[in-house]
Chain A
Amino acid sequence: MISAQNTIRPRPHTTYRSFVEAHIRQSIAQCYQCGKCTAGCPVAYTMELTPRRVIRALQLGLENELENSSTMWICLSCLTCSARCPREINIAGVMEALRLATIGKKPTPDQKKFRLFHDLFIMSFQFSGRAYELGLGMAYNVMSGQFLNMASIIPGMLRRGKLAFLPHKSRGSETQHIFQRLEGQNKAMNQAEAGTK
């Protein structure tokens, strides 16, 4: 797994707003709070901070509210919000930026399962090169405590030969090298940034 301290994260003196705006290359000030993003979001019903309110929180600098919200992890990246925004703000890009910005923080209890899933998904191909569905599912169920997740379909998957028992390997171990070089690059960039402070 790529360790959190080596991933790119906002430098301590920057705000979420400046990190997000740099990521989407747009200004959050453009948003006039019409709420079209929330209206079209298929998962807004289960968010404590809806997409419109996330943008408002960024405008107002409500850092704690943003950090403790699960909105960016509930976001499915379906991009309906971005496609419909009358101000053409890439709202799904805002959610992506908030995931990246908070990845170095300790997850809240609700954020934990989403972070666990993504970490395990990455692990499932980091060494073999290709994602390993059965391993991912078993590891996720055990580590999240949701033991019976998808239990109803597993016999059917097995009967239809739709689960591979062993991971499928890519020729060469390119992913391992990619992760090693990425860690090196991120470390160097974080050090360079620390040096210029």
Chain B
Amino acid sequence: MIETARYAYYPGCCSKASAKEYTATTRLVCKALGIELEESPDWICCGASSAHSIDRILGIALPAHELLYAGRMKLDLVASCALCFSRLKIAAAELKDDDVRKRVGEVLGQEIPGNPDYRVMHILQVLEKHLDRIHLEKPLKGLSVACYYGCLLGRPKEVAFDDAENPQVMDRVVAALGGEPVEWGFKAECCGGSHVFTRPDIVSKLSHRLLYQAKQAGADCLAVVCPVCHSNLDAMQKSIGKEYKEEVDLPAFYITQLVGLAAGLPPRKLMFEKLFVDPMRLLRAKGLA
């Protein structure tokens, strides 16, 4: 019997709509690995890329609200969204400054203890830490995966847990699942993020480049760890293909879906039907579905 690991879990706003499958499969996989996730009932938005762009203290106070919850629970805090992770961890670093801590405490209406040590992790780190718990029912044999990390796991160096230019942690997870991570140079290049609203032309250009490079590197699919990246690479893929006059057809999985698949969890629970680019043909061809 493996010992249960417990973490405070921050699902993030996309978990309620556009990234339902990411949160659901995060919970499912963690349960299968004996990892308990404690969600705060009153978690609030981390402010994403907007709060810190219009007010410095707001950009720290919103994620700090969740840090205080994890602190009260005496648990490490885990986020599945790369952007939430980044904002939470940057806030934890900023709170080491006495003046910032005082102002944020005032805004949150509670005193923040001095010398705080809030530990924030991304789900990738948790998966890697507990890799030995995965019982490989269905190794991802023959599946070439382009691991896409995005901007926020390797930068800035104050909060990063992997290399800024050539991160490796997801490659190690995919390899442990029996899959074949491909070498490619665009692991940590930007997808265009929230410019899908303001400047969709930028998202098309940047995401097209990513999809094209992944395909050139021989990938069958992408593995993704951020709901915004995912929506740009999966939901927008067809219209990007039209714009650039070439169909890409590259399924984009959340990493947790791949872990669940390899661990032999029932495919209908892994919510593949939520993906825009249907992965079933690929999975059948590889004998994985």
Interface, chain A (partner B; CB < 8 A) = 2, 7-8, 23, 42-43, 46, 74, 76-80, 82-84, 90, 92, 96, 99-100, 103, 113-114, 117-119, 121-122, 125, 129-134, 136-137, 140, 144, 149-150, 152-153, 156-157, 160-164, 168, 170-172, 174-175, 177-179, 181-182, 185-186
What is the distance, in angstroms, from B150's C-beta to the closest C-beta of chain A? 8
User: Which residues 142-167 of B have a CB within 8 angstroms of A?
Assistant: 151-152, 154-157, 164-165
The one of A46, A125, A149, A163 in contact with B18, judged by C-beta atoms closer than 8 angstroms, is A163
Cβ-defined contact, A76 with B151, below 8 A: yes
A-B contact pairs, 12 of them (CB 8 A): A8-B55, A76-B202, A78-B190, A80-B189, A100-B56, A114-B198, A117-B50, A170-B44, A171-B42, A181-B106, A181-B109, A182-B57
Q: Which of B20, B54, B65, B103 has the most CB of A within 10 A?
A: B54
> Does B200 make an interface contact (CB < 8 A)?
yes
Query: What DSSP secondary structure best describes chain B's contact surface?
Result: helix
The one of B45, B156, B276 in contact with A131, judged by C-beta atoms closer than 8 angstroms, is B45
Cβ-defined contact, A129 with B20, below 8 A: no
Cβ-defined contact, A90 with B156, below 8 A: yes
The one of B107, B188, B189, B236 in contact with A153, judged by C-beta atoms closer than 8 angstroms, is B236
The number of chain B residues touching the other chain, given as a range, is 35 or more
Cβ-defined contact, B276 with A153, below 8 A: yes
> Does B52 make an interface contact (CB < 8 A)?
yes
> Does B193 make an interface contact (CB < 8 A)?
yes
Cβ-defined contact, A121 with B164, below 8 A: no
Cβ-defined contact, B54 with A163, below 8 A: no
Cβ-defined contact, A178 with B200, below 8 A: no
The distance in angstroms between the C-alpha atoms of A97 and B195, with both chains bound, is 19
Cβ-defined contact, A125 with B54, below 8 A: no
> Does B192 make an interface contact (CB < 8 A)?
yes
The one of A118, A172, A174 in contact with B50, judged by C-beta atoms closer than 8 angstroms, is A118
The one of A2, A8, A118 in contact with B56, judged by C-beta atoms closer than 8 angstroms, is A8
Contact flags B182-205 to A (C-beta < 8 A → 1, else 0): 000000111011111111101000
A121: nearest residue on chain B (CB-CB)?
B50
**Hey, which chain A residues are within 8 Å of B20, CB to CB?**
161-162
> Does B27 make an interface contact (CB < 8 A)?
no
Cβ-defined contact, A80 with B16, below 8 A: no
> Does B261 make an interface contact (CB < 8 A)?
no
> Does B206 make an interface contact (CB < 8 A)?
yes
Query: With A170-B43, A181-B106 known to touch, is A82 a contact of B54 (CB < 8 Å)?
Result: no
